[in-house]
Amino acid sequence: MKNKIIENIKTIIYALLIALFIRTFFFQPFYIPSSSMEPNLLIGDRLFVSKYTYGYSRHSFPFSPNIANKRYLAGNPNRGDVIVFKTPYDNRTDYIKRLIGLPGDHIQIKNGELYLNMQKIKRKRVSLDIKINCGEEIINTVAYEETLPNMTKYVAVYRVDGTMLNTNEFIVPENHYFFMGDNRDCSKDSRFLSSVGYVSFENLVGKARIIFFSNDKKIANFFKFWKWNKSFRFERIFEKIE
């Protein structure tokens, strides 16, 4: 009996070590808790983030141990990548946003339109068949397919009565990046210098790759198990993140 217990404990420890190894060096699951990336990522989406894409830093490990202040096996991110990063404010909180600005870029919103290095980002209006949220509020938005200089395309939404029609010019420092949420007027991102601001290369955790599960908590939470089947978003499972 004693030997069986010891073997079971060993099996659990091995399983935990394997899971930790995969989480640290390959893929880590993340949950989307806010509407800042709508319409592309919804509250309740669960996704896998590749840890190897940009290399490894202390933020690749659980609890971000202060073991090094550099990145190993580094790979450069591209404009338009959807990335999980640790906020510069506390180096602990995970945010997920879209990479808009590279080091040295000039970024500004003028009259509700996005400018990159003094060039207006190309966009065309599109229609959406989903409602856009901002916290507990459903907001009226206009959706555009935006095209970055590297030809990355994605859909961003702007509030009809937008709160950020004009901004100062942002100049991205060396070794830092500028992020924005696709739900432009409902996202705390690099435009807010006191809380997020420019994100260091070291703070990148990984690239969002694929949605592996999604459910609408407004329809059913954990305790309303009889409604679980109605809350599942089956059409989003295994959807690639662009």
Q: What percent of the chain has pLDDT over 70?
A: 96
C-alpha span between 89 and 85 (Å, rounded): 11
Residue 165 pLDDT level (bands cut at 50, 70, 90): confident
In this predicted structure, the answer to whether residue 225 has a pLDDT above a threshold of 70 is: no
| The pLDDT of residue 220 | 66
What mean pLDDT is reported for the chain?
A: 91
In one letter, which amino acid is 78? N
Q: What percent of the chain has pLDDT over 90?
A: 68
The two three-digit tokens of residue 225, written as one number: 């198990």
Tens of pLDDT along 215-224? Answer: 987 776 656 6
Q: Global pTM?
A: 0.91
| The pLDDT of residue 62 | 86
Q: Is 199 helix (H, G, I), strand (E, B) or coil?
A: strand
Tens of pLDDT along 67-89? Answer: 878 898 999 999 999 999 999 98
Distance of CA 231 to the CA centre of its chain: 22
Fold of 2-236: Umud Fragment, subunit A (2.10.109)
Q: Which of 35, 36, 60, 214 is catalytic?
A: 36
| The pLDDT of residue 22 | 82
Judge whether 223 and 61 are in contact, CB under 8 Å. no
C-alpha span between 144 and 95 (Å, rounded): 23
Q: Which of 97, 190, 200, 214 is catalytic?
A: 97
More confident position, 93 or 8: 93
| The pLDDT of residue 103 | 98
List the domain boundaries for the chain. 2-236
| The pLDDT of residue 136 | 87
Q: Calculate Rg over the CA atoms of the chain.
A: 20
More confident position, 66 or 84: 84
Q: Is 120 a catalytic residue?
A: no
State the DSSP string of 85-133: EE-TTTS--EEEEEEEE-TT-EEEEETTEEEETTEEPEEEEE--SSPEE
What are the DSSP E strand ranges found in the chain? Answer: 27-31, 45-50, 82-86, 94-101, 106-110, 113-116, 119-120, 122-126, 132-134, 137-139, 141-147, 153-159, 170-171, 176-180, 199-200, 204-214
Per-residue pLDDT, averaged over 181-198, amounts to: 95
Judge whether 76 and 12 are in contact, CB under 8 Å. no
Q: Is 217 a catalytic residue?
A: no
Residue given tokens 């509020």 in the structure block: 137
